[in-house]
Amino acid sequence: MERSEKSSSDISECPSDSAEAGKASVCEGCPGQAYCQSQNGVDPDQEGIDLRMGAVRHKVLVLSGKGGVGKSTVASLLAEALASKSQKVGVIDLDICGPSIPKLLGVEGKAIINSQYGWKPLISPHYNIKVMSVGSLLSSDTNSVVFRGPRKSGLIKRFIKDTFWGRLDYLICDTPPGTSDEHLTVIKVLRNVKPDGAIIVTTPQAVALATIRKEINFCKKMGVRILGLVGNMESYTCPCCGEVSELFPSEGLDNLAAEFNIPIIGRLPLDQEVTKCCEMGSNVVADMQTSPVTIRMLNMAESINSIVDNIS
């Protein structure tokens, strides 16, 4: 029992993102000690990252503690909603093993071009949103990406440093579920340019909300501001009459928001027509202007605009 409690304490006290990474007493015996020690030097790429990201006004992370909650869909819809308001928007797909942004933003099957200025991001037909994803670097959409942590981190740094993003109002970072290599890497490399914060997406089931607490604590530990919570698929929109019916009790998300004093900035219903639109890679915000999902996403974009402007 004592050993189990010590192990749990060691995990919670992991200094992986501090100057003590790989050196602290808690690191003794950790299988990742050597890797952490190798990361403590001056990163030669940091200057290039800071220069590239200095041209981007707002950097927003889209997080979720659990897979299957519609995080990538929310990220793509948020990008469309912001771009529809004349904002210059880019989306970086940090889900290395399961990229879905190319399909959602209508650039699936298009290849990335390497120019003298760096990788040229794909231009989505959805309001000219710029897109970078590992899915656009694969020769086939059936190819799997089998990367260890260091290689994932290296690719993410290239996405940020070597992509010719140009001047943007927003860079939306769509992350994979959890709190692992991809999250640690993007937070570390963006630290100097001060990302605005994170949006946490969840569905209202208790099993999903339980993982959100871990995501919230991760953000606190890493010094990432939480801009708000998004409750996805809380209700169902009837395709015949448009009536919205509650699928899950909403009290869970309300209680979570109150517990951590985090605003709920969006509540999105499950809309069958929006799902079809996403599957076809169509522009939901432009093509479904009367959908409750579109209306709420536009309101959410306004809320985020207001929040990040106040931060700035």
pLDDT above 90 for 141: no
The conformation of residue 109, written as its DSSP 8-state character, comes to T
Q: Give me the helices (H) in the chain, please.
A: 2-12, 33-38, 46-53, 71-83, 101-104, 149-161, 181-190, 206-222, 251-260, 272-279, 284-287, 292-311
pLDDT above 60 for 3: no
pLDDT above 70 for 144: no
Q: What is 45-311's CATH superfamily?
A: P-loop containing nucleotide triphosphate hydrolases (3.40.50.300)
- How far is it, in rounded angstroms, from Cα 211 to Cα 113? 38
- How far is it, in rounded angstroms, from Cα 72 to Cα 58? 19
pLDDT of residue 234: 82
pLDDT digits over 13-56, tens only?
A: 666 656 677 777 777 777 566 666 656 656 778 888 999 999 99
Nearest residue to 212 (alpha-carbon basis) of 246, 243, 273, 253: 253
pLDDT digits over 275-288, tens only?
A: 899 999 999 999 99
Higher pLDDT, 127 or 194: 127
Cα pseudo-dihedral 13, 17, 18, 24, rounded to 10: 50
pLDDT of residue 5: 41
Tally Cβ neighbours within 10 Å of residue 29: 7
The pTM is what?
A: 0.84
Domain ranges in the chain? 45-311
- How far is it, in rounded angstroms, from Cα 131 to Cα 73? 14
